[in-house]
Homo-oligomer: A and B are copies of this chain.
Amino acid sequence: MAQTMFEPVYKDIFPFWNEISAGVQAYICRHSVAMTYLKGTTIHDGSECSGVFFIRSGCLRVYMMSEKGKDITLYRLYPGDMCMLSASCVIQAITFDVMIDAEEDSECYVISGPAFASVSKDNPKIKIFSLETAVSRFSDVMWVMQQILFMGMDQRLAIFLSDESKRTGSDVIPLTHEQIAKYMGSAREVVTRMLKYFAGEGIVEVSRKGVKILDKKRLRELAL
């Protein structure tokens, strides 16, 4: 039953699927559940090992919460994405916590953390997959923290966009990322990623025509 539901999906998403035994495949399916989370639900609050999430539909937001209740988005998970940071019991070296909310109604397949940890222990290919998934997210997270918290790049970009919009009297800033980077004395790839971050937060929309400001209020707040 569980097998017929999960296997066709797992076959596609896990690069190691055809290299593990039928017994291990069945074990992973038996320890999977299909969950639907309503928009706004907190799925993972960092206090326990919630398991490995695979997103089927919707959107999850992974964030950190400061002591004062301020939160910062680390990244978003879309259909096809997988989350390992919610499964600290799978990767023992992970000793910090994130929180996860459903940003839209979201369907997920969730594999039990202890079950995944146990098959990962005996299968190098599963272990490598888990670690690589985690490391690539870490890089995203490091980037966000470095740019936002350390460089103030969110503020600098917000100031630039606000000023340009005021100067030209338009909500659309018809500049390439390259040009924005040049004006700001930054690198194109930094501007591109930060604009993508702003777009994820619903602050701007990025298209070939340039950058369109959608949420002036939040942009002003960031520019303060």
Contact = CB atoms under 8 A, between A and B. Distances in A.
Interface stretch (A27-35, A104-112, A123-131): A123-131
Contacts of A128: 124, 127-128, 131
Interface stretch (A5-13, A146-154, A175-183, A195-203): A146-154
A143 B114 CA distance: 24
Contact of A139 (B64, B94, B125, B132): B94
Interface string A161-176: 0000000000000000
Taken together, the copies of this chain in the complex come to: 2
A160 to B, nearest CB: 14
A141 interface: yes
Interface residues of A, number: 30
A138 B132 contact: no
Contacts of A94: 135, 139
| Interface of chain A, main secondary structure | helix
A146 B93 contact: no
Given A124-B128, A131-B131, A139 B67 contact: no
A72 interface: yes
A136 interface: yes
A2 interface: no
Contacts of A145: 142, 145-146, 149-150
Interface string A91-103: 1011110000000
Closest 3 CB pairs of A and B: A131-B131, A149-B149, A93-B136
14 contacts: A64-B150, A91-B135, A93-B132, A93-B135, A93-B138, A96-B142, A124-B124, A124-B125, A131-B135, A135-B138, A138-B138, A142-B145, A145-B149, A149-B150
